[in-house]
Amino acid sequence: MMKDLNEEQPNTFFQAEPLLTFTWKDQANEISNWFNQEIRGSQREKQVRTLKTCYYLGQLLEEFQDNSKVLKEMKNLFKVSLEKRRAYNLWKGAKRTYQLFQQRDPSLLYWTQYISLNNLTRLTIDKFEKLLDLETHKVHS
């Protein structure tokens, strides 16, 4: 996963899929629908789509991090629209995806080969923090 963050990639425009609604509930529903859509194409395309969707959910979670009532309602919405275990993994993965890519160029999502939702959720806290700190501890030659 560190390789995904270390390699130089050509500049890619981050193809934002804007949340077309304004309330948090509508945005959360829209993101939930993105997770539930069947994605046709290669495994790679599915991986990028999932990471992008996690990025948007993470952004929404960040926006409402100080509002426990909204976060609780959001969490319940995802538990209902997705199976409970899947909702937990998406929640955790969304937070980590957003943390990882918001401090870098989000277009790196398109170039990842090793970073996936499963890999991010399975990382221990220590290993995830090392991945986050990768930029500050990079050795320059």
Per-residue pLDDT in tens (0 to 9) along the chain, 141 residues: 666 666 665 555 555 555 656 788 888 888 888 777 766 667 778 888 889 989 999 999 999 999 999 999 999 998 888 888 888 889 999 999 999 988 777 888 888 888 899 999 999 999 999 988 875 555 433
What is the model's pTM?
A: 0.76
Structural domain boundaries enclosing 124 = 22-132
Is residue 43 one of the residues assigned to a domain? yes
Total domains present in the chain: 1
Q: What are the distances in angstroms from CA 106 to CA 5, 54, 69, 98, 113?
A: 11, 12, 29, 9, 15
Is residue 58 one of the residues assigned to a domain? yes
pLDDT per residue over 70-85, tens digit each?
999 999 998 888 888 8
